Amino acid sequence: MIIIDGSVGEGGGQILRTSIALSALTQKPIRINNIRSNRPKPGLAAQHLTSIKAVSMLCRGKTRGLDLGSTELDFTPGDLSGGTYELDIGTAGSITLVLQACLPVALRSPNPTTLSLKGGTDVKYSPPIDYFKYVLKPILEKMGAGIELKLIKRGYYPKGGGEVKIDIIPPDSGWKDLFLAEPEKFEKVHGIVHYANLPNHISRRIKSSAISEFKNQFDNKKLELEIEQVSHSLSPGVGITLWSKSPNTVIGSSALGERGIPAEKLAINALKDLLTEIQVKATVDKYAADQLLIYLAVCNRGCILARAPLSTHAQTNIEVIETFFGKIFQLKEQEKVIEIKRFENPEK
């Protein structure tokens, strides 16, 4: 059994999600202690329970300590299976964070998987659903994944109520290596502004601010920005997600509305983040760099360029991954980016 200290590094749910996924993928039982000990409310929250349940369903796993607030968990994986499942987080807990745990497992299962997930689609401290759809999903498809995503309803904090259906088809002939080691050329920026239960002028102000800031920062590049008014939302909410494609990759950024933050500031923050990624010549943005690590781990080889310095999340993710696989990553700083290289696995 592999023992994982849930207090190391960033000390949050990332350790739990990565550990559970890798346990299922490697068929190695684990025990996680000190779960989320660095958080104001330590232990398992509703989103983490759903993540573990999802992975357990996909590998017929067994658990001990799967309770709200639990700070210790044992997980014993079984055979990967796939299948059709419905899961309701029951709060505004993040749907995309649940996918972080179960998607790598579903993509290694012998059969396709269909998941219907209810919870939060656009909530703090997690990737928005548009980021998953327009940034992470295309990169995973480049590696061989088959993913069909349908956003049925958005869900915001505090009541959630969002719903997503996702069909996951494992790669036919195994994972393709991901090589994004050279700077890319990004010409056009796309974006979505979404809002619910708020005055229409808020979305217009975000769009106007985005267009104005874009002209100041992005020279001759083009911006295509959509506005989506969300109907029947249980909670008010607003956010913006931006992304830009190159011939080989996608980078993105996002910002979510909060009380006290002017609408115009959302667009400016998202655009500045995206511009920074382009200027430093990263091939994946800082959020994708973190999320792609587990997929690089199951590849034969791979290489990405991420903005320096590496986030605490990513550093912790590397530490957890190498607990299962040994030393498989090489990090090399190059001016304003870090090259993350996955050593070749001679057994594959």
For the chain, 348 residues long, give each residue's pLDDT as a single digit of tens.
999 999 888 778 899 999 999 999 999 999 999 999 878 889 999 999 999 999 999 999 999 999 999 999 999 999 999 999 999 999 999 999 999 999 999 999 999 999 999 999 999 999 999 999 999 999 999 999 999 999 999 999 999 999 999 999 999 888 899 999 999 999 899 999 999 999 999 999 999 999 888 888 877 778 999 999 998 999 999 999 999 999 999 999 999 998 888 988 999 999 999 999 999 999 999 999 999 999 999 888 899 999 999 999 999 999 999 999 999 999 999 889 999 999 865 444
- How many angstroms separate the CA atoms of 309 and 184, rounded? 20
Task: Give residue 242's pLDDT.
Answer: 97
Assign residue 73 a region: left if phi > 0, alpha if psi is -120 to 50, beta otherwise?
beta
Helix (H, G, I), strand (E, B) or coil at 60: coil
The pLDDT value given to residue 345: 55
Residues classed as catalytic: 313
pLDDT at position 165: 98
The domains of the chain, with CATH numbers, are 2-176 (3.65.10.20), 188-279 (3.30.360.20)
> Which helix (H) or strand (E) segment is 244 a member of?
strand 237-245
From edge to edge, which strands make up the β-sheet containing 222-230? 222-230, 188-196, 237-245, 250-256
**What's the pLDDT score for residue 151?**
98
Range list of β-strands (E), 53-209? 62-64, 73-76, 83-88, 113-119, 146-153, 162-169, 178-180, 188-196
pLDDT digits (tens, 9 = 90+) for 148-163: 999 999 999 999 999 9
Q: What is the pLDDT of residue 346?
A: 45
H/E stretch holding 4 reads strand 2-5
Question: 0.85 exceeded by the pTM?
Answer: yes
